[in-house]
Structure 1
Amino acid sequence: MDNGTRATFDRSTLRERCTAFVRERIISGELRPGEHIVEVPLSRELGVSRGTLRESLRPLEAEGLIVSDGRGHILVRELLSHEILEVFEVREALEVLAATKLAKLEDRLAIAAELRQLLVPLQSHDLAFGKQIELDLGFHARLVQLTGSETLVSTWGRLIGQIEMMIIAAGPQRAADRMRYAEHVAIADAIETGDSAHVAAVVSAHMGDFCRKYIEDALADELRAREIPHPATESRDAS
């Protein structure tokens, strides 16, 4: 390996490490939704130039985890309750379409078996939050990929960053139990039946349940941010 190739490799590896570092900070909640990513102290902490840091942030912006505010600032993406509803409306339509297409295939038993296998690690009760997110989204991504529809896959893929951010914003205490084996295996079981109406009902129920939970999380956070007492708190105080 010549020096030029080595230097390129080293820069690339450094950027990847910085990207992974910032992604982990977002997933862990150290960088909260809506928070500015301040380049100077972060680049010092990582021991890299601001240019290298900016390059490392580009993949996260492409994923939808961070956004520019149009004034030269980079923020961790924050989804409001109405945006979460919009994401789930589109996501439900896409995944109902995907699951019903799979239910009509002759090899649906093998497809259901593959999807169940992907879910096996979710039976563990000591998974790191980031790993849970990876497995959860991996299951849903594979559900869509198995249709063989490039349009469906690419359309669903554009939602990934927003889906990740609503899970991250909810945090492990609220979101972890929504990414368990039992919450997902019913979809694979429904596909195996070959009953399109049943499959659509199962996927819609799955999406509807979690849509409500994530919207409730977002509303609670929005109320807290405005320093307005949450209705549930007021009810408890009144009693």
Structure 2
Amino acid sequence: MPNPRLPKLNRMTLREQVLESLREAVLSGTFRPGDHLAETELAESYGVSRGTVREALRTLQQAGLVTGDSRGKVRVRTLSPGEIGEIFRVRAALETLAVEEIIARGDAAAVAAELHTLLPPAQEDDVDYLRRLELDLAFHQRLCELSGNATLMETWAGLEDRMRVVMFSPGQGDPVDIMNADHHAPLVEAIAAEDPVGARAAFFAHMDEAARRWSA
């Protein structure tokens, strides 16, 4: 049976369109970790051959977004608590390095002022989960961009797809509050204070808590 959540495609560059549509469906939470991506259903939904879908799924598997079991069933990847912890620890290290480079360059005040304008919504604001996620990631991405370190930014961007999969995973407790302004303001304050030691403590504490919230 066709999946009504997926759009029909035009006939140009079908493989690329299927790949991009499936990737977006995974990264936006349309398909959640553990969901089965059945070739036959997807092919019928898109109006393409199973081979076209299979190629797209193979590319997603190579990117680490889906996994295949011994019976050939493909599912959206479910990361283990250990893998989730690794991702957030790497993020903490990268973002701490970004802060250190910003402070060393003498740009802490300007960066803190800009990041203050990018603080995610407050807990009580009427903002849906996907929008909160986008604003949260935009805050952290901008911090890395403002470091001026292209390699750091490329490394952070290389984790983004897996971050999104994690953030649509079931976790312990409510993950929404970790994405609100109150949890990000101390990060901005540590940058404004030009305190690399305090910033390191703040970023690692923030990421440790995030990893705990999203660990199954």
**TM-score normalised by L of structure 2:** 0.77
CA distance in 2, matches of 1:33, 1:212: 17
1:165-185: CA deviation from partner (whole Å, max 9, x where unpaired): 2210127x7322221122112
Unaligned runs of 5+ in 1: 1-8, 219-239
The yes-or-no answer on 1:42 pairing with 2:46 is: no
For residues 60 and 126 of structure 1, what CA distance do their matches in structure 2 show? 33
* Identity across matched positions, percent: 36
Alpha-carbon distance in 2 for matches of 1:61, 1:166: 16
User: Is the CA contact (8 Å cut-off) linking 1:119 and 1:184 kept in structure 2?
Assistant: yes
SS of 2:75's partner is strand
Aligned to 1:19: 20
Deviation track 1:49-102 (CA, whole Å, cap 9, x = no partner) reads 435545665775576432445875432011011111222222222221112222
Aligned equivalent of 2:128: 128
Structure 2 CA distance for aligned equivalents of residues 35 and 65 of structure 1:
12
**Structure with the higher helix share, 1 or 2:** 1
Paired residue for 2:7? none
Structure-1 separation of matches of 2:14 and 2:110? 38
Q: Is the 8 A contact 2:18 2:46 kept in 1?
A: no
| Partner-residue secondary structure (3-state), 1:75 | strand
Name whichever of 124-133 and 51-60 sits farther off: 51-60
Is 1:184 the equivalent of 2:184? yes
Q: 1:10/1:177 Cα in 2 relative to 1: closer, same or farther (>3 Å)?
A: farther
Q: Secondary structure at the match of 1:11?
A: coil
- Equivalences for 1:65-104 in 2 at 5 Å? 65-69=65-69, 73-104=73-104
Deviations 1:97-149 (A, max 9, x none): 112222233222221122122225x2472222222222211211121121121
CA contact (8 A) 2:91 2:156 kept: yes
Contact 1:39 1:53 (C-alpha < 8 Å) held by counterparts? yes
Which segments of 5 or more consecutive residues in structure 2 lack a partner in the other structure?
1-9
8 A Cα contact 1:19 1:57, kept in partner:
no
Q: Structure 1 residues 150, 109: closer, same or farther in 2, change over 3 A? A: same
Aligned residues: 205
